[in-house]
Amino acid sequence: MRKAITVVTVLCVAAGPVLAGCSTGSADSGGTGTGSRATGLRQALSRVAATEDTRAWLGYDAIAELTRVVGKRPGRGFGLLLLQGTDLRSDAVTAPTDTGIAPLDADYGIAAGLQPHTVTVLAGGQQADRIGTSLTTLGWARNGDRYVAPDPAQLTNTGRKAGYGLTFAQVRPDGSDVVIGRSGTDLGTAGHPLPGRTLADDRATAALADCLGDVAVANLTTRYRSATTQQPAVQARVPHGVQLDKLTEIAVGVRPPKSTSDTPRAVVCTAWADRAAADGYAAAVPGALTDGKSFTVGGTYAQWLTHPQTTNVGGDAHVVQWTADEPTADESRLVLQMLVNADVPGLG
């Protein structure tokens, strides 16, 4: 019997191995990995400037697409994916009343950067006047085009308001959109960045977005090689032929469900420094998916990730893709947690 998985929403550095048990095949129908595709993820990437901070960790959530299937209920099944790609999941229910910000009313959300530099864009569904009135009532001060939270010392022992002071430290309403930043965030990096300098224009990030294709949720990071991956126990898990030091960026996502009874399909895309490194991973990951062991869920990856398919996409970013079915909708966050836990098959 499978044990239940507890998945924690974390907007932080991810370090993890790659999912094991794939067979070589054609590219998954959700994304070919070749050329620009007008996906929701691509559109979202164009709303954030490409910087070292924003590329460190990215999250995307196709909110409207998910709510059409599951409603505005983030508690179970595919609803567990709602706001998983943003910094706002814990405030989904209370924020609309308290702050005027309505995460579940947005078309999509994208979050970039590690705390306290996280910036989030909610595109669509927001009311600027309501946000301004609500935040002013909470004690936020207007400063130019944004609202700024009070000094943290003033928010001690104020319950939810103290939490809002962290997540919504800076808020810039923008028509039906809103840009939200933590205390160290430069809000100028999001909303309407200069054309040609966005995450959609970054070579590796764009290539991974094309590889992911249509997804309901995604996480991308350039920080997969953390101190954790250098530990001997982790190194021992890396299959022969995988050059982990040449992994430049990794992206994981889950295909959009058409109904609540769909089987979740996970997709993982990796970018490598050169073709040899990509070839090494492409050759090793099928065995990892078949025989490798996961410490996120226990047992082998093959017990949790079925019907795998691996594709050596190639291109300038040297991309390798693999996809697999996750057990049920209640476990649709599995691949996201594997990334956070540095437990991606074949990557340690």
pLDDT digits (tens, 9 = 90+) for 192-217: 999 999 999 999 999 999 999 999 99
Torsion of CA 41, 46, 51, 54, to 10 degrees: -40
pLDDT of 295 reads 84
Inside any domain, residue 226: yes
- Same domain for 157 and 71: yes
pLDDT digits (tens, 9 = 90+) for 56-96: 999 999 999 999 999 998 889 999 999 999 989 999 999 99
- Same domain for 333 and 316: yes
- Same domain for 211 and 118: no
Identify the domain containing residue 166 by its residue range: 47-197
Which of 147, 170, 197 represents a domain boundary (last residue)? 197
- Same domain for 53 and 28: no
- Same domain for 235 and 192: no
Q: How far apart are alpha carbons 15 and 37 in whole angstroms?
A: 28
Query: Could you give the number of structural domains in the chain?
Result: 2
User: What value does the mean pLDDT of the chain take?
Assistant: 88
- Same domain for 296 and 281: yes
Which of 178, 197, 216 represents a domain boundary (last residue)? 197
- Rounded to an integer, the average pLDDT of 126-138 is 97
pLDDT digits (tens, 9 = 90+) for 262-275: 999 999 999 999 99
pLDDT of 138 reads 92
- Rounded to an integer, the average pLDDT of 158-171 is 87
- Same domain for 175 and 279: no
- Same domain for 206 and 293: yes
- Same domain for 216 and 174: no
Inside any domain, residue 81: yes
Nearest Cα neighbor of 176 from 134, 124, 132 is 124
- Same domain for 243 and 192: no
Q: What are phi and psi of 64, to 5 degrees?
A: -65, -40
- Same domain for 287 and 255: yes
Q: How far apart are alpha carbons 124 and 111 in whole angstroms?
A: 15
Inside any domain, residue 255: yes
- Same domain for 148 and 63: yes
For Cα atoms 5, 222, 297, give the angle at the middle one, nearest 5 degrees. Answer: 15
Inside any domain, residue 74: yes
Inside any domain, residue 40: no
Which of 161, 176, 197 represents a domain boundary (last residue)? 197
Residues 6+ apart with CB under 8 A from 235: 229, 244, 348
Give residue 157's pLDDT band: very low, low, confident or very high (50, 70, 90).
low
Give residue 226's pLDDT band: very low, low, confident or very high (50, 70, 90).
low
Radius of gyration of the chain (CA): 20
